[in-house]
């Protein structure tokens, strides 16, 4: 009988202890679950809100939208976890110190990678070029095929793929040959000093005047630019659509040369006269 009473007493003590623990920490547990549920819900909403907000501008790249939306979501989740730990009385100050030190160490180890990410964010935000543009950047020239947070992928004129870290592109000068709708074609032609300059210039005008790709506004520019050692140099400048640049450049060069030949206008080349001086008596 005493054994039964002792067991009952022990059971009663355990139950009372459990009740005491529950009554002491129940509110903390309920509060923690509430904070966790609200934090998870809010993180999803922040992800959606940031995405919709940035898409309304229509100026931010989709890659950047996804990056910032996800970053906002994870920040809310991190704050939620810290708040839940604090609800149980855990000292979060020391935890934040440890996390800060770990983040600093990781940042130093990944310094080059993080600089590429920062440069990628700036490139996607300010958009000095877009996919399909022909650029010169980071010591390379090519058509942009892809741009992400870490690197930019280009294809050269002979279709060689080049991968350039974003930090090299952002930290150096960049030339975008596709940014403007029109470009200027500069060509120089040398004619002989014995030829009629006015006839040569009229010949050039007749050639570019027949090319419908050459724009009349701005007006084509043709002048005598230089008196060289063996030729009179004529400078031609015409404006064309950016997509017609190389076609017009090559076609005008060929057509003007052929028209010069037809009209008897010569294109001289440098020459040297060599005098042989022999010994006395030869």
Instruction: Kindly tell me if the per-residue pLDDT of 61 is higher than 90.
Output: no
- Nearest one of 172, 112, 114, 161 to 138, comparing CA atoms: 172
Instruction: Kindly tell me if the per-residue pLDDT of 82 is higher than 80.
Output: no
DSSP class of 127: -
Reduced to 3 states (helix: H, G, I; strand: E, B; else coil), residue 133 is coil
Instruction: Kindly tell me if the per-residue pLDDT of 4 is higher than 70.
Output: no
Q: Alpha helix (H) ranges present in the chain?
A: 2-57, 62-87, 92-109, 111-126, 166-170, 197-209, 245-262
Q: What is the pLDDT of residue 105?
A: 62
What's the whole-model pTM score?
Answer: 0.63
Q: What is the pLDDT of residue 124?
A: 79
| pLDDT tens digits along 201-233 | 999 999 999 999 999 999 999 999 999 888 999
| pLDDT tens digits along 123-163 | 877 888 888 899 999 889 999 998 887 889 999 989 999 99
Instruction: Kindly tell me if the per-residue pLDDT of 22 is higher than 80.
Output: no
Q: Is the Cβ–Cβ distance between 54 and 47 less than 8 Å?
A: no
Least confident range of 18-22, 42-46, 152-156, 242-246: 18-22
Instruction: Kindly tell me if the per-residue pLDDT of 51 is higher than 90.
Output: no
Instruction: Kindly tell me if the per-residue pLDDT of 272 is higher than 90.
Output: no
Q: What is the pLDDT of residue 180?
A: 93
Instruction: Kindly tell me if the per-residue pLDDT of 9 is higher than 80.
Output: no
Q: Is the Cβ–Cβ distance between 225 and 168 less than 8 Å?
A: no
Q: What is the pLDDT of residue 15?
A: 65
The angle, 0 to 180 degrees and rounded to 10, between the axes of the packed helices 62-87 and 111-126 is: 120
Q: What is the pLDDT of residue 8?
A: 55
Highest mean pLDDT among 67-76, 215-224, 266-275: 215-224
Instruction: Kindly tell me if the per-residue pLDDT of 36 is higher than 90.
Output: no
Question: At the top level of CATH, which class does the domain 182-262 belong to?
Answer: alpha beta
Q: How confident is the model at residue 44 (pLDDT cuts 50, 70, 90)?
A: confident
Torsion 142-144-148-153 (CA) sign: negative
DSSP class of 219: P
Rounded to a whole number of angstroms, the distance between the first and last alpha carbons of the chain is: 149
Instruction: Give the whole-angstrom CA distance, residue 177 versus residue 115.
Output: 26
Beta bridge partners of 164: 152
Q: What is the pLDDT of residue 279?
A: 60
Question: At the top level of CATH, which class does the domain 128-176 belong to?
Answer: mainly beta
Q: What is the pLDDT of residue 201?
A: 95
236 vs 14, 151, 243, 262, CA distance in Å?
Answer: 101, 39, 19, 20
Instruction: Kindly tell me if the per-residue pLDDT of 187 is higher than 90.
Output: yes
Q: What is the pLDDT of residue 52?
A: 77
Residue with tokens 């050269």: 156
Q: What is the pLDDT of residue 103?
A: 63
Q: How confident is the model at residue 191 (pLDDT cuts 50, 70, 90)?
A: very high
Contacts of 193 by beta carbon, 8 Å cutoff, 6+ apart: 231, 232, 268
Q: What is the pLDDT of residue 148?
A: 81
User: What are the structural domain ranges in the chain?
Assistant: 2-109, 128-176, 182-262
Residue 162 structure tokens: 């080049």
Instruction: Give the whole-angstrom CA distance, residue 47 versus residue 74.
Output: 9
Instruction: Kindly tell me if the per-residue pLDDT of 185 is higher than 90.
Output: yes
Q: Is the Cβ–Cβ distance between 63 and 124 less than 8 Å?
A: yes
CATH architecture of 2-109: Orthogonal Bundle (1.10)
Q: How confident is the model at residue 184 (pLDDT cuts 50, 70, 90)?
A: very high
């Amino acid at each position: 009988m005493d054994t039964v009473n002792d067991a009952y007493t022990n059971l009663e003590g355990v139950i009372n202890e459990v009740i005491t623990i529950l009554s002491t920490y129940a509110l903390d547990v309920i509060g923690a679950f509430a904070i966790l549920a609200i934090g998870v819900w809010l993180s999803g909403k922040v992800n959606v809100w940031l995405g919709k907000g940035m898409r309304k501008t229509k100026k931010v790249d989709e890659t950047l939208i996804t990056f910032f939306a996800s970053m906002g979501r994870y920040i809310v989740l991190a704050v939620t976890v810290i708040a839940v730990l604090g609800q149980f009385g855990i000292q979060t100050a020391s935890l934040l110190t440890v996390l800060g030190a770990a983040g600093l160490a990781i940042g130093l180890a990944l310094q080059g990678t993080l600089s590429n990410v920062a440069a990628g964010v700036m490139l996607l935000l300010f958009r000095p070029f877009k996919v399909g543009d022909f650029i010169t950047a980071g010591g390379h020239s090519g058509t942009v095929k892809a741009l992400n947070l870490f690197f930019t992928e280009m294809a050269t004129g002979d279709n060689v793929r080049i991968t350039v870290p974003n930090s090299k592109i952002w930290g150096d000068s960049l030339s975008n040959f596709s940014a403007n709708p029109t470009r200027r074609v500069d060509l120089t032609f040398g004619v002989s000093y014995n030829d009629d300059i006015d006839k040569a210039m009229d010949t050039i005008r007749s050639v570019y005047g027949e090319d419908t790709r050459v724009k009349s506004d701005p007006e084509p520019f043709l002048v005598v630019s230089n008196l060289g050692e063996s030729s009179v140099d004529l400078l031609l400048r015409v404006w064309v659509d950016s997509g017609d640049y190389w076609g017009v450049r090559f076609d005008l060069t060929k057509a003007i040369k052929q028209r010069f030949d037809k009209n008897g206008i010569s294109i001289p080349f440098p020459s040297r006269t060599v005098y042989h001086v022999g010994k006395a008596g030869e």
